[in-house]
Structure 1
Amino acid sequence: MLNLFQFGRLRKSIFAKFAFSFIIVGLIPLLVLSFFSLNTYGNYMERYSINNFEQMVLYAGKNADDLYTKYNNISKMMYSYGQYANNGQFGRVIAEQVSQKDNRLTATVDEFLQTVVASDVHIRSAAFVFTEGGYQDLNRDGSRIDFRFQYPPVEWKRTMTENSKELVLFPTHPQEYYPHSGMTVMTFSRNLIDVIGSPGLDGKVVGSLFFDVSLSAFDEIFQHLTTDQKDVMYVTDQEGRILYSNKINLIGQLFQPSDSEVYHYVKHDMPNSNWSVIGEVNKNELFNKINGIKRTIAIVIGLCILSLVVVAVWFSNNLSIPIRQIIRNMTRVESGDFNMQVQVRTSDEIGMLARGFNRMTDRLKSFIDEVYVAQIKQKQAELTALKSQIRPHYLYNTLEVIRMSAVANDDDEVADMILSLSQQLKYVLNYGEEHVTLLEEKTNIEQYFRLMKLRYGDHRLALDLRIDSELLNCILPKLSIQPLVENAIYHGIMPKSGKGTIRITGEIERGLFMLTVDDDGVGMTEGKLQMLRDKLAGNVPPDQEVGGIGIKNVHDRITALYGPEFGIRVNSTPYIGTSIQMILPYKKEVKSV
């Protein structure tokens, strides 16, 4: 019954009405718009990705076909190579020099091979094979074909015989006929026919040109394509053998498309070379990017929905919480608690209502304070003032009676101690300003040190005050030096044997008042010094603090009064002594005329 009752109250509240209306008005249009946007965007991106991949394959195929055309034209340079030394066409010159065993043959072929190698940066080597079996070669790195290797191989010769008038491509293979080459190349070859000595292309073959092309020629084409690492590109010949692929281990194998529906293939046939460029893309990987973007959009939409709900709840709370708070406070005012105040957060009608309620409680409270509470507080203040005057006066008179009794008994030392104590108590119990002059602090320290010398003797303690007279009117917190002197006596000088000296110096540096208390006592180890510095910095929990309470109290007072850049700095060396420096702003007492 209670839950049903609470639900009924919530349903009738302003909060529920505003929140429900806000969510319904904003949420439904956002959900509908998000659904249609995601579907439309996803379909568009899938079509765009497939078309983009097909365009890349088409671009690569065109460039590969141009590459084949370029090497085909280089192989035909044998027929267009200039009228060699005015002796006619290159093939004719080769045929005549071979038949005449001309000594110029080597230079003629070598010059031509240099031209071939220099015509393209991807041509690694070139060789011209004569019909009787001899050959000349030129490698870009200066090496020569291993004489132990049968060059060209038998199958190459057979292929060249079968295709005597065409450009022949020998698929990708290791360049093993060059010692220590370690390269993988394709070899293009064309027969040289003496077209002058015989009509047409029916002349005799006077030699064959072979030149090796590195796979970097294909790398230059495919490295500009923005494909995923898992996408595979193939260049195959007319038999389906892979001439090039970005998966090196597949080069030289027959291309076998996958039966899986996961892969999408795009093929482009090249008319000039009878090559084909095939692109293999993993549809899951391709669409994963799209799905990732869709997930990101969905997350953004979800965050927008969440933000909408949060804003609705926040907006409703901003309206209903102040009203409920005013109702609760009104109930407490009815019971007699007139200290209730409503926090005013806005300047709208709700804020005006809260301010009116606060003014009402203030007026009621002031009426009651005027006739009753003010009289009680006045009586309590008078009693407190009387007690504050009676207690120090009684203490001073009592100490004076004890001191006079010691004088009457000729106990001057006790009398001096009581006099010093009396003056110190008068200084301590004087409820005046928080700040005093250095002169007043100096007088108090002298009285305190007089007590310590009477207690321990002149043979144990000495005080050296090095304070210029113009610094005596500097302002500092009351009772800030005595704890430092007390710490130096008990922790520095008393643990050591022999006499110890405490030196107090003051100076002005860069607009700061620096007061230093040095002792030549036992000093502190590095561990104790670091623990004390951590305590001053507030890095030690209160329940773990041991010792150094007086110094920390002085430090905390200074930082509270002037800021964190002021306070206590401590340095100490074992068996040499400790130096405590108090850093204060330089302020002087202004004397009234």
Structure 2
Amino acid sequence: MRKKLFDTTFGKLTVAYVFLGVIPLLLLSVLFFSRFTDSVRETMIRNYAQINGYFARNVGDIIESADDAMAELYEYETDLGESLAAVLKDTERSDGERALEVVNALNSVMSQSKHIASTRFVDFNGHIYSVYYNQEKTLRNDAEYYTQMSIIPKDRLRDLRVLGTTEESNICINTDDFIFVLVRNYMDTTSMNRAYNTALGTLFADINVDVLDDLVKKIGLEKGKLYICNPEESHYVYSQDRKDYLDGRNPLGKKVMAHLTDDEGYEKIDDNWIFYAKITGTEEYAVLALSDVEAMGYYFSNRTMMVVILLFSCIFLVLLYIIFSNRMTEPVRKVQEAMKQVENGQMDVRLEIDSHDEMEIIADGFNKMVERLNDYINQVYVARICQKDAELNALKMQIQPHYLYNTLDVIRMTALEENDETSAELLECLAHQLRYVMGEHTDCIVLQDELQALREYFVIMKVRYEDRIGLSIQVSDEDTQLYIPKLLLQPVVENAIRHGLREKDGEGTVAIRVERKEDFLEIVVMDDGVGMDEEQVRIMQESLDDPEIGKVDANGCLSVGMKNVYDRIKLNCGKEYGFRIESFLGVGTIVTYHLPVWEEPENVESSDRG
């Protein structure tokens, strides 16, 4: 029966290694990575939220600075102390005088904020005024979108509006800059009602995007991209990739735009982190977008290092386990190999184990056991083999004269009664019989030779009993080449003739049938003689089963030949083999042999003989 893995020393060491080494290490590693990941994620979210908040506040400061400067229009006064509203509503002024005052007011606005690159003003009569720091720039005649009063909805006349970034060449000539535009209506403040409902003009303040680029450089963002966008109008005030302005692309996408609802926050959308913060006083959002790999780059780099450390630790533990396991199991393997050698008959094996533990005690016990076993074999086993050989030889010597005497007696009686040439044939058969019985001394013989000896024996028996007996043999050609102990069938056949057929009136037959079963050979010897009752059969079987070699009971029911055959089978073939007797009065007797299947003579000598 095969041992289970857990029943071996190696299996137990493996279980101990897995449950006490590898699994705890993996659990600790998973716990560490889980906590480390949470910590890194929290730190990342906090840092990038602070960066985006800082960016939003600075952009808000820039817009607030420009918005405060745009409010300077309400503070402007002419040399006569008139407000800009009075100038715009004065119908007696010429266009040139009005333009001079509006330009002065625009210069005043630009002087209040360093972020404003140019301004434009459109009054309620449709007159357009513009002022540029760079005198080479000139307003385009087809820049209607950036020079109209209706650019701010009527329901939000007083609100500040931020237009998306565009090329400045769409507004003026002689420029290749990008700008975003702040738009406010200039309300009529001459009365409270008009201040809320009547606009005298619209002021446009252009801010160069380079101002935002300088802010981004100052932040020093290494990963991710910053944007300023309006989710309602889906335009961009700032993008680090200026192609977004030219192509009208939406780099953040509609899904991100839809999440920009609160004043600030963050979301993870499609493996990307989005941090957003609303710019104060506007509808614009500062957005920081970066991938999960970029956001967790510090974690991934540390995770790689931790994985390397973990793998190194596992390899180290495996090496320790192998070394420890080899040292623990080496004595066991030595004992196992020594036991196999002893099993193969090498009784001079000795174990040398110097481990100073239980295995050394086992080795000493094993050596003593082998020594004692060797002594036992020499004293007992060899002696029993010699005794067995002597018993076999004694049985042979006992059966051979017995057989010879009976045969000679038959020939003698026949010669006296017949007095003819039949004696010659009988003597020839006798010679063959003597040659077979007294010839080469061997424990086994081919079944074919044994059957041929029976046929020659029956030649003599037919003459003796005047052809009243016959012999029938059923055997395959293949089975005739099997080996059986010598002189195995003749004593039983002789017994069948003398005690079965001789007492019968009329003719009789001895039938022999040979059949190979799955794992044994069956030979059946049957006669149709007078038979025996149950009591005689029982006494004969008990005599056969008597452990004393060659013993025959005093009442003469069992012949010496049959007892010898039975004992020889036990000695040569094994205790599980032999034959059984069945008999019925007036019907006949059946003797069934149960023998091993011997296909080669060497199998006989190497077989287990009990």
When the two structures are superposed, what TM-score results if normalisation uses the length of structure 2? Answer: 0.41
When the two structures are superposed, what TM-score results if normalisation uses the length of structure 1? Answer: 0.42
